Amino acid sequence: MSDTIIMRHPTLPPEQEIEVPRDAMPHYTGAGWQLVPQDELDERAALAAAAAAEAAEAEKPTKQAEARGQEQAEPQSADAEDAATDQPDSTEPAESTKRPARRAKAAKTDEEN
């Protein structure tokens, strides 16, 4: 058994739960908190594990495709560098719509008054 438990309050949304130490359960039940049933927690854990496994399977082909894409992209990178050098260099900064930062006012002390 774990040292913590999951609880929810009937006046709050069902997805708003808290994890508290098992020893503190009497303090929370006095305030209306209820223990989340273990079978519900087990079902959530099984769904999360299935989703993680599915995401891992979906990611495998993507990683292989990225590896192939990087191998093909290396010869093209020289062409990309040539294209970048053909364009003129803009030395003027782009116009900014930001306002300048405000200056902080100096705090008056008793000596200044």
> How many structural domains is the chain composed of?
2
What is the DSSP secondary structure assignment for residue 14, as one 8-state letter? T
Output b/e per residue, 23-39; b: 16+ Cβ within 10 A: eeeeebeeeebeebeee
Residue 45 belongs to a domain = yes
Whether residue 28 sits in one domain with residue 2: yes
pLDDT tens per residue, the chain (113 residues)? 579 999 999 999 988 999 999 999 999 999 999 999 999 999 999 999 999 999 888 887 666 666 666 666 555 555 555 555 566 556 666 666 777 667 766 656 665 55
Residue 112 belongs to a domain = no
Residue type, 24: A
Whether residue 43 sits in one domain with residue 14: no
- The candidate with the shortest Cα–Cα distance to 3, out of 16, 18, 20, is 20
Domain containing 46 equals 38-74
pLDDT value of residue 105: 66
